[in-house]
C-alpha cells in the first residue's frame, strides 16, 4: 500500500497546481476535491510559513461564513495547519525547550 503524501511534502514538491484534485489525493466528492485543490493553490502562492498558517486560519473563518459548514473540508484544512506547524515550528520549540532544560541543570 502506498503512503499518502503529506501537505508539507506536496508543498515542497510542486511550484504550481492545475488539477481539480489536491495532490494529496481524491476524497470521493468532486466539490470537496475542488475546494481542497483551490486551498492547495492558495498555499503555494504563500511560501512563508507565517503566511501559510495565517491563510489557513482566515480560510477557516471565511468558510464558516460563506457556506454551510463542511466538516470534511474543515478537518482537512485543520490537519494541514497542524502538519505545517509540526514540520516547521515543533523542532524549534523542542530545541528551545531542551536548551532551557540544560540551562536549568547547569544552574
Closest CA to 5 of 26, 30, 19: 26
1 within domain boundaries: no
In a domain, 2, yes or no: no
For residue 90, pLDDT beyond 70: no
Which range of residues forms the domain containing residue 35? 7-106
User: Comparing 65-74, 77-86, 95-104, which segment has the lowest mean pLDDT?
Assistant: 95-104
Residue 1 has pLDDT above 50, yes or no: no
Helix, strand, or coil (residue 28)? coil
State the total domains in the chain. 1
In a domain, 27, yes or no: yes
| Global confidence as pTM | 0.70
- Mean local confidence (pLDDT), 26-30: 82
More confident: 48 or 92: 48
Amino acid at each position: 500500500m502506498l503512503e499518502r503524501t503529506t501537505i508539507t511534502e506536496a508543498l515542497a514538491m510542486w511550484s504550481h497546481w492545475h488539477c481539480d484534485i489536491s495532490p494529496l489525493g481524491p476524497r470521493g466528492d468532486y466539490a470537496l476535491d475542488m475546494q481542497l485543490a483551490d486551498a492547495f493553490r492558495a498555499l503555494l502562492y504563500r511560501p512563508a510559513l507565517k503566511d501559510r498558517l495565517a491563510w489557513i486560519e482566515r480560510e477557516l473563518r471565511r468558510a464558516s461564513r460563506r457556506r454551510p459548514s463542511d466538516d470534511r473540508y474543515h478537518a482537512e484544512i485543520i490537519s494541514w495547519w497542524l502538519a505545517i506547524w509540526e514540520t516547521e515550528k515543533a523542532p524549534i520549540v523542542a530545541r528551545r525547550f531542551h536548551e532551557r532544560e540544560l540551562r536549568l541543570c547547569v544552574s
